[in-house]
Amino acid sequence: MHAELFLQDLAVVMLVAGLVTILFHHFKQPVVLGYIIAGVIIGPHTPPFPLVHDEETIKTLSELGVILLMFSLGLEFSLRKLKQVGSTAFVVAFLEIILMFWVGYEIGCLFRWSLMDSVFLGAMISISSTTIIVKALAELGKAKEGFAQLIFGILIIEDILAIAMIALLSGIAMTGGLQMADVGVTLGKLSIFLVVAMVAGLLAVPRLLGYVARFKSNEMLLVTVLGLCFGFSLLALKLGYSVALGAFIIGAVIAESREIHRIENLIEPVRDMFSAIFFVAIGLLIDPKVLVTYWLPIAVISIAVVVGKVVACCFGSFVSGNDSRTSLRVGMGLAQIGEFSFIIASLGLSLNVTSKFLYPIAVAVSVITTLLTPYLIKSADGMANRFDRLAPRSLVNALTLYTNWVGQLGQRHPSMATKLIRRWSSQMALNAALIAAVFIAVAYVGQHPPEWVGKLGLGKEWPKSLLWLVSVILSLPMFIATSKKLQALGLLIAETRVTESAAGDRTTAIRAVVAQIIPIVGTVILGLYVIMLSSALLPTFKVFLVLLFLVGLISLLLRRSFIRVYAKAQFALQETLSKPPASRLEHAPTALPSILREADLESVTLAAGSVLSGKLIRELQLRTQTGATIVIIERITGNIINPGPDEELRAGDHILLLGTRMQLDTAMTELSK
């Protein structure tokens, strides 16, 4: 009987959704609205009688729709796109979210709603709808224009910030408040989770999908992709995050695979089916009586969304250096809310912290603003023309002057040294996040040990000591890589920032001090960081000293192995990010990747009695044979930057090499003779 009712409900949902969708498509309205109205038609609040009997089953299916919808948004996300849009998209998204969150909170307070209702309302109206905007721009034929590309970048940043917002709202809902320390811890954990998930995913997932794709079976590829989607969503749920977060992250990882075009084609019909059920389920929750009762808040919030987003996005876009026309088109294109608002509203309901009327209000505001979106985008050019005609000429000239000034600032290219410092700093930050992830994961295992561990009768100290040792050994590749980066950073800063004009005769001495202080201080900070992370696993002092000796011995004996493991992982990550997916090859730049993306640094000391001592650089033919280049020779008498071919090598020279990982390994073998 249950199976029959379920089949009947599913048939009703899909049939009514299909009919309403055809009608909406005929009148060139967003299809999403058709799904929501279909839910209202068949819902329990619409007379004469409800057409759906098992609403819980439909809601369960709609949760699959949330997962697949967020997964699809992740597939549209790209690390390359995020890099291209730069700071402009971040400035616009950040200003928009801050302003709209405040506006929503104040509106909630104005209507004397509860604190949680006001907070969740602010969150709901702060995020625009990626799905609706992308569809609207595509239907209007404006998806390829410059302002549309900026909008897509802003939507990417909004999606990331929305994920962080969902995590923070969950914390607020469970504790009733959130201190700054809690915000820092929440964002820190979320950042570590995102970094580790991205890095591990980019190393493993594209290669797995590449292997599965070799079999030329769409079925195998689809099942594998769905398995990754639901599996990672479950992992995120187990770690205390939402399934939406897990689905979005794994979608973003899969977006970097070369099979993305094929995957998008396979996942599209599955996504469309379950996302249709998701939006229909939203319509099922709408009570027309509630909408009539709360017509004033709906009208006020709708006006606030349109006006607030146009102003915030237009201002943020202009401040970032875009002209008034582009800024206005960006603001008009982002003036609505959508799927993230539904997810945030459903989060409040599932946690029992918001009133039931808030969900249908959010849906009603989304419907109204979605209906206005195409007309706002169409009218942007006309409004820009009227502004140019009616605004005082002095104001127009001042705005143009500001735009040109900001554009000139953006054309200033940083030096090679500055680029290297930024690159190494980001790599060290990534290493720190990975080290934190290792200790957090191992500490979790220590707090939830398997049952068989307790049966061994080892007590508490030995398992803790063993876990600490395992954590440190697993972190050694990142620790060693960071120490090497600190050495190179110290040498680079000493050579480029300590100038002879400022230091005079003491230039050599000051450079030597700076080159040594930076790696020493950095290593001490890194050591304290590791001790702080391992506070839950630290053994007694005597055992700690013994384990520390073992770690030192292991790092000394296996140092090169750890370096090779790290280098291979780094190369694999760069290879994944440097190869554009097959579906995006037509948009890929024809220029070769920047040398900074591929190059790395390695230092080696010329041993006493080396057969290379006394030879000229030209005699080594190092660049011809290995491809690596000697960029700095550090000596007691002074450092030599970019030495010429006639420079003689001496025993004790500290040589800094530039090249790819493979080139550096070969060159170090040659210089170690």
User: How many C-beta atoms lie closer than 10 Å to residue 481's C-beta?
Assistant: 23
CA 236 vs CA 59, 230, 247, 325, 343: distances in Å: 20, 10, 9, 42, 16
Question: pLDDT for 97-144, tens place per residue?
Answer: 999 999 999 999 999 898 888 989 999 999 887 767 776 776 677 767
Q: Running DSSP on this structure, what letter comes out for residue 655?
A: E
Structure tokens at 437: 């992830």
Interval 663-673 mean pLDDT: 74
Omega before 589 within 30 of 0, i.e. cis:
no
Partners of 629 in the β-ladder = 658
Residue 118 CB-density burial (10 A; 0-12 exposed, 13-18 middle, 19+ buried): buried
pLDDT of residue 427: 81
- What is the C-alpha separation between 303 and 156, in angstroms, rounded? 25
Q: Running DSSP on this structure, what letter comes out for residue 366?
A: H
Region of poorest pLDDT, from 17-31, 434-448, 594-608: 594-608
pLDDT of residue 9: 80
Question: pLDDT for 369-421, tens place per residue?
Answer: 877 887 888 888 888 788 777 878 787 777 777 777 766 655 555 666 777 77
Region of poorest pLDDT, from 236-240, 273-277, 388-392, 569-573: 569-573
Q: List strand residue ranges (DSSP E) for 340-473, in order.
A: none
Q: How confident is the model at residue 579 (pLDDT cuts 50, 70, 90)?
A: low
Q: Is the pLDDT of residue 363 over 70?
A: yes
**Angle at the Cα of 618 (from 612 to 624), degrees rounded to 5?**
100
Q: Is the pLDDT of residue 619 over 70?
A: yes
Region of poorest pLDDT, from 107-116, 447-456, 640-649: 447-456
Q: What is the dihedral of CA 235, 239, 244, 246, to 10 degrees?
A: -40
- What is the C-alpha separation between 329 and 151, in angstroms, rounded? 9
Q: Are 250 and 3 in contact (CB under 8 A)?
A: no
Greater model confidence, 109 or 61: 109
Q: How confident is the model at residue 586 (pLDDT cuts 50, 70, 90)?
A: very low
- What is the C-alpha separation between 30 and 325, in angstroms, rounded? 26
Residue type, 226: L
Question: pLDDT for 264-304, tens place per residue?
Answer: 888 888 888 887 887 787 777 777 887 788 899 999 999 99
Q: Running DSSP on this structure, what letter comes out for residue 286?
A: -
- What is the C-alpha separation between 282 and 50, in angstroms, rounded? 15
Report the percent of the chain where pLDDT is more than 90. 7
Q: How confident is the model at residue 444 (pLDDT cuts 50, 70, 90)?
A: confident
Closest CA to 122 of 345, 346, 335, 303: 345
Q: Is the pLDDT of residue 8 over 50?
A: yes
Q: What is the dihedral of CA 377, 143, 63, 116, to 10 degrees?
A: -40
Interval 44-70 mean pLDDT: 74
CB-facing half-sphere around the CA of 204: CA atoms within 13 A? 8
Q: Is the pLDDT of residue 559 over 60?
A: yes
The secondary element (H helix, E strand) that includes residue 659 is: strand 654-659
Give me the chain's average pLDDT, please.
Answer: 78
Q: What is the dihedral of CA 560, 564, 565, 567, to 10 degrees?
A: 130
pLDDT of residue 107: 93
Q: Running DSSP on this structure, what letter comes out for residue 649?
A: P
Interval 318-337 mean pLDDT: 85
**List of domains in the chain:** 19-382 (1.20.1530.20), 416-573 (no CATH), 599-671 (3.30.70.1450)
Q: Are 670 and 622 in contact (CB under 8 A)?
A: yes
pLDDT of residue 77: 67
Q: Is the pLDDT of residue 453 over 70?
A: no
Q: Is the pLDDT of residue 314 over 80?
A: yes
Q: Is the pLDDT of residue 436 over 80?
A: yes
pLDDT of residue 223: 93
Closest CA to 101 of 344, 287, 270, 452: 344
Region of poorest pLDDT, from 158-162, 288-292, 406-410, 610-614: 406-410
- Considering only the C-alpha atoms of the chain, give the largest distance between any 2 of them, rounded to a whole number of Å: 98
Q: Could you tell me the strand order of the sheet in which 640-641 lies?
A: 600-605, 654-659, 629-634, 640-641
Q: Is the pLDDT of residue 183 over 70?
A: no
pLDDT of residue 585: 39
pLDDT of residue 655: 82
SS3 labels along 540-593: CHHHHHHHHHHHHHHHHHCHHHHHHHHHHHHHHHHHHHHCCCHHHHHHCCCCCC
pLDDT of residue 637: 64
Question: pLDDT for 468-499, tens place per residue?
Answer: 888 888 888 888 888 888 888 888 888 777 77
Closest CA to 346 of 330, 329, 358: 358
Q: Is the pLDDT of residue 583 over 80?
A: no
Q: Is the pLDDT of residue 573 over 80?
A: no
- What is the C-alpha separation between 98 and 459, in angstroms, rounded? 51
Region of poorest pLDDT, from 455-459, 521-525, 664-668: 455-459
- 635 Cβ contact list (under 8 Å, min separation 6): 650, 652, 653, 654
* Residue whose token pair is 């590309």: 149
Region of poorest pLDDT, from 322-326, 523-527, 589-593: 589-593
Closest CA to 32 of 298, 299, 341, 332: 341
Greater model confidence, 601 or 593: 601
Q: How confident is the model at residue 592 (pLDDT cuts 50, 70, 90)?
A: very low
pLDDT of residue 44: 78
- What is the C-alpha separation between 630 and 641, in angstroms, rounded? 9
Burial 558-585 (b: 16+ CB within 10 A, else e): beeebbeebbebbeebbebbeebbebee
Report the percent of the chain where pLDDT is more than 70. 84
